[in-house]
Chain A
């Protein structure tokens, strides 16, 4: 359902063009999940912006069949500090022109699902990092997306909160049949949540390897041999990439 065909992206700096992504090709099936991993600054966020339609590729193309509704979680969540948690979550629906009642009901439902009951009137600045991540997830889910784009949604969380939220994302992907595309810099997260893992090279980002990881998709995967095996393999691939780089 999502096809990336030798997509490239360059940012113009005066007369020079600064290449960020080159010749990126991969696909994500409907209801599938895909993790994008790579060194810092390799263009992961830029790639997600291309997929989510926030940027246009300067070469190649991106095809999404069926024009699905999409939800996006930006790096650093992009929550609006001047809106309450409830207003943040409901914003997508408000923008679509939904009536007040429907917004209210959907917000209540999501607060409940995300374990945020009682925090609807708080401001994002009053919440912990993990709670803010859940608000961002709730906001993206509010419009019932068929495809979900996430840019490092779980960075800066402690290990256990992180695992709990990974389980939550897994649950969303599995139970709601939402296609998920996740950018991460965590090897474990990529292996746990990505049935297909796109490994990007250092800048300018190219596809270094596409790792098939078909067992991803159940909570117990973390405790299996294969999970460790995949993590080790992914680490080896990335290691090679980091070795060529100073510190």
Chain B
């Protein structure tokens, strides 16, 4: 497939640029890519990074899923039900721009410093991104579609099932694509303290020990995590959104 080749080619160019910068900079803070890649493969092969990779992946994934399964139904309802939208939109308007990261102390007080707090913070931030997009998507569905459902004698639930949800799915997927980037960034933030597992910890720990190769290995793994989530999403999109490719 042409797209795969393009992505490989882009990766190659980035590696070359990295190599050139490393050679020019001659700094410990930027090791050469092949050193880092060797280190990464070594650590993956001997299994010393697998636990951290697994735990970070599950934190990110669970956070996103938690957000998805709460934000989508709520967003659809707020978008589709005028009265509900009217009542709840002002709250969203006020709460959305708040930098939710600042709620971390509160979350830790409520849920402790364990995994759940980390997942919860990721979910909270991604929640709003998905909520707002879903609401707008559900609000802007052409009324022709509702008339058509009415002529077929559909119930409210059937209208959600056959029109409101499927019409909003493409925008929801776009929101999720943005959310993956956010989730990985927040993941790093929540793993950078009060934990001894996860890629974020690996990065901070290596940095503290001035182990720059280890630091970059952590970064590579984190990037790979985000990238895998993108690929997964692409897969899902091709499966459930075939109609958007038909013009």
Using a CB–CB cutoff of 8 Å, the interface residues on chain A facing chain B are 49, 52, 54, 70-72, 74, 76, 78-83, 91-92, 95-96, 122-123, 125-126, 140, 143, 149
Contact = CB atoms under 8 A, between A and B. Distances in A.
Contacts of A126: 246-247
A95 B148 CA distance: 12
Nearest to A136: B148
A91 B152 contact: yes
Contact of A125 (B155, B241, B247): B247
12 contacts: A54-B150, A72-B148, A74-B151, A78-B145, A82-B169, A83-B162, A83-B243, A95-B154, A95-B158, A125-B247, A143-B152, A149-B151
Contact of A82 (B155, B158, B166): B166
Given A92-B152, A123-B243, A125-B247, 13 more contacts: A54-B150, A70-B151, A74-B144, A79-B148, A80-B163, A82-B241, A82-B243, A83-B166, A91-B162, A95-B153, A96-B153, A143-B152, A149-B151
Interface in B124-173: 144-145, 147-148, 150-155, 158, 162-163, 166-167, 169
Contacts of B145: 78, 80
Given A78-B144, A78-B145, A125-B247, A72 B151 contact: yes
A140 B152 CA distance: 8
A52 B151 contact: yes
A123 B151 contact: no
Taking residues whose C-beta sits less than 8 angstroms from the other chain, chain B's interface range is 20 to 34
B147 A78 contact: yes
B157 to A, nearest CB: 11
A49 B169 CA distance: 29
Nearest to B159: A95
Interface string B208-247: 0000000000000000000000000000000001110011
A182 to B, nearest CB: 15
A126 B243 CA distance: 9
A39 to B, nearest CB: 22
Nearest to B166: A82
Given A92-B152, A125-B247, A76 B144 contact: yes
A234 to B, nearest CB: 28
A168 B107 CA distance: 66
Contacts of A140: 151
Contacts of A76: 144
Contacts of A123: 242-243, 246
A170 B242 CA distance: 35
A54 B152 CA distance: 11
Given A91-B162, A123-B246, A82 B167 contact: yes
Smallest CB-CB A-B distances: 4 pairs: A78-B148, A72-B151, A125-B246, A82-B166
Contact of A80 (B158, B166, B169, B247): B166
User: Max chain A CB contacts within 10 Å: which of B147, B158, B163, B242?
Assistant: B147
A129 to B, nearest CB: 13
A95 B152 contact: yes
A81 to B, nearest CB: 6
A113 B84 CA distance: 44
A70 to B, nearest CB: 8
A81 B154 CA distance: 18
A140 B148 CA distance: 10
Nearest to B246: A125
A71 B152 CA distance: 8
A80 B148 contact: yes
A125 B153 contact: no
A49 B148 CA distance: 11
Given A74-B144, A78-B144, A80-B162, A54 B243 contact: no
A71 B148 CA distance: 10
Contacts of B243: 81-83, 123, 125
